[in-house]
Amino acid sequence: MGVEQLLDDYNIPYITEGHKHSTEGWVNIHCPFCGGSQDFHMGIHEEMTGCHCWRCGGHSLVSVLSATLEMPPALTWQIVEKYKTGAIRKKVEEPRVSINPLKFPSPHIRLNKHGLAYLKNRGYDPAYLEEEWKVFQTGPVSYLDDISYSNRIVIPIMWDNKIVSFQTRDITGKSPKKYLVCPMKREVIHHKNIVYGNQEYLEKAKNIIIVEGVFDVWKFGLYSCATFGTSFKMEQVLQLAKYDARFFIVFDNETQAQEQARQLMIKLKTLGKIAQIETVDSDPGNMNSSEANYFVTGLMNRRY
């Protein structure tokens, strides 16, 4: 039983690997909500805990399958429970032991002239990023698990004072995938179950800025954190709700990003937090230092 068996039984086309939208631990189908080309944009987590579309973001499993199967939600829920129960039972009977420790792509190096130039051109201080965020880079050849991570900034992801995952950013402008993350099987903690930021500062902050990506955190400073994209998981919401702070959600001005910001605000408010949406004229990561400092200072000094 499980998600693949469900899709097989109901003749729903899917892919699990070898496709630009496939990710380990996920099964991809055509998104029932997006217009345009059908290219397996919708991912269903293998444990049937949720769904995420590369275009339109997160959805519940029932809503995705209800739309795909053209069945009412109540009937779809019964189907999901049948297959989900089987998947969970199998997991209990056959526990998996990780034999894949966290590793970085190899070889990797300190920032060289190419990495330094890339960061400087985007308005960042490479020395600060090396010191505070421990970034480094790869050269023309670098692999992990047969995945090429060549010519990328490598961004360690810390949680509870230890490295639990990493993200990378292409510096050539030529890769079809700007960002590549650590293979899921090697993550100590899945990066979408936490946020990117300095926990020491977040724990004492009165105001916290929530942004999309790590570059936005670097621009806005130590009282900000990122959800690794506009889509977010409830695990991230619960982590954020632990902080005794007011939240300012600053996502891109695109309609889809703003809708995700609204959903995040609603979930935080449901958990009793004070949260509101703030906007900037463009991508926060593209602001210059003076603009970013002015914006952040205004939020940090804002009274309740």
* pLDDT for res 208: 97
* pLDDT for res 304: 61
* pLDDT for res 51: 87
Q: Please, is 244 exposed, middle or buried when counting C-beta atoms within 10 Å of its C-beta (0-12, 13-18, 19+)?
A: exposed
* pLDDT for res 92: 36
Residue (of 202, 277, 216) closest to 245 by Cα position: 202
The strand order across the sheet containing 207-211 reads 224-226, 207-211, 246-249, 275-277
Digit-coded pLDDT (tens) for 51-108: 888 888 888 889 999 998 888 988 888 888 888 765 433 333 333 445 789 999 999 9
Domains, in order of start, for the chain: 3-93 (3.90.580), 106-191 (3.90.980.10), 199-300 (3.40.1360.10)
Q: Which residues of the chain have pLDDT under 70?
A: 1, 85-98, 303-304
